[in-house]
Amino acid sequence: MHALIGTLINGIALGMAYALIAVGYSMVFGILRLINFAHGAMYAFGAYMVYFFVSLKLGLLPAIMLSILMSGILALLIDKVALEPLRKKKSIPIATLITTVGMSFIIQNFLSIEYIFTSEKKGFPSLNLFGSFTVGNVTIQSSQLIMFVVALILLAILTLLVNKTKIGLAMRATEQNVKAANLMGINVNFIISFTFFLGGATAAIAGALISGYYQVISPTMGSLIGLKAFSAAVVGGIGILYGSVVGGLVVGVAECLAAQYLGSNVRDPMAFVILIIILIIKPTGLFGKKGISKV
């Protein structure tokens, strides 16, 4: 029984971190109807920046802060340099999509450059800052608790930002009708940049949390986890923030249960097994709405 509870706790903590990555896919998709395949690489980039700044002896917390800033700016720059010109030229959506795939490989390769990072795996500072503690028969590591609490707080802040602030209202307006958003006096390009910044920043935080839990990073660490989080976003209904949170939790818990009871090599496919099952039952995902209601 306590093994089950331990597995559930592990799954929920990981699931919240997945949710943090998933909302990045969801927000960008909501505004641009674009799957940002560079998002997984942003997650890796965020972890590497923490590693880099820690190696400069800046201390863990300042390193994480700097990484958040750098990753947000990188995401924003990717949009400005490679995606915005395509939108301006009204290029086909698939061109933007393959550009984000290309960007993810460029970032990944940057992270394996010799003399700076190399392609070797690296040790990452542990986020198990307060050791572990035992409740009943169940042992909880403080890195799990930190992962859960930080992700929960950030997701709450994001939800408030989108639903209660002026810039959030502008984001929702841009999601629904770009032309009308322009007519309201909203600087739509700024809203898009802001959304990319948020996506990059949250990916970096997730990168720090998950790497601090596993204590290892590698240049390709973002590709599988990026796809899992993308699945989580689709499972929850892409474009819907709380859907991404539920999707992340479902994927996190399912893969931990699978690893515990079916063997560790069943772990990674679980996200996609769940994706397929949910989409067969409900094609728009758990909370997704059908299309955009036309007025």
Partner 1 sequence: MLKIDNLNVFYGPIHALKGISLEVNEGEIVTLIGSNGAGKSTTLSAITGLVKASSGTITFNGKNITNLPPYKIVKMGISLSPEGREVFPALTVEENLTLGAYTRNNHNDIREIFERVYNLFPRLRERIKQAAGTLSGGEQQMLAIGRALMSKPKLLLLDEPSMGLAPNLVLLIFDLIESISKQGTTILLIEQNANMALSIADRAYVLETGRIAFSGDAASLADDPRIRKAYLGG
79/175 with CB nearer partner 1:
175
Q: What are the φ and ψ backbone dihedral angles of 217, each rounded to 5 degrees?
A: -135, 155
Amino acid at 93: P
Residue 34 beta carbon to partner 1: minimum distance, rounded to whole angstroms: 20
Residue 122 beta carbon to partner 1: minimum distance, rounded to whole angstroms: 45
Residue 242 beta carbon to partner 1: minimum distance, rounded to whole angstroms: 15
Contacts 24+ apart (CB under 8 A), 272-279: 272/227, 272/231, 274/231, 274/235, 274/250, 275/231, 275/234, 275/235, 278/235, 279/234, 279/235
1/183 with CB nearer partner 1:
183
Residue 162 beta carbon to partner 1: minimum distance, rounded to whole angstroms: 12
| Torsion 256-262-265-271 (CA) sign | negative
Q: Which two tokens stand for residue 270?
A: 């679980």
CA angle centred on 234, ends 242 and 207, rounded to 5°: 75
Residue 171 beta carbon to partner 1: minimum distance, rounded to whole angstroms: 11
190/261 with CB nearer partner 1:
190
What are the DSSP E strand ranges found in 37-186? 122-123, 132-135, 138-141
Binding footprint of partner 1 on the chain (CB under 8 A): 166, 169-170, 172-173, 176-177, 179-188, 292-295
86/173 with CB nearer partner 1:
173
4/292 with CB nearer partner 1:
292
Residue 210 beta carbon to partner 1: minimum distance, rounded to whole angstroms: 33
DSSP string of 141-159, one letter each residue: EHHHHHHHHHHHHHHHHHH
Q: Taking a C-beta distance cutoff of 8 angstroms, is the pair 19, 153 a contact?
A: no
Q: Taking a C-beta distance cutoff of 8 angstroms, is the pair 9, 142 a contact?
A: no
61/295 with CB nearer partner 1:
295
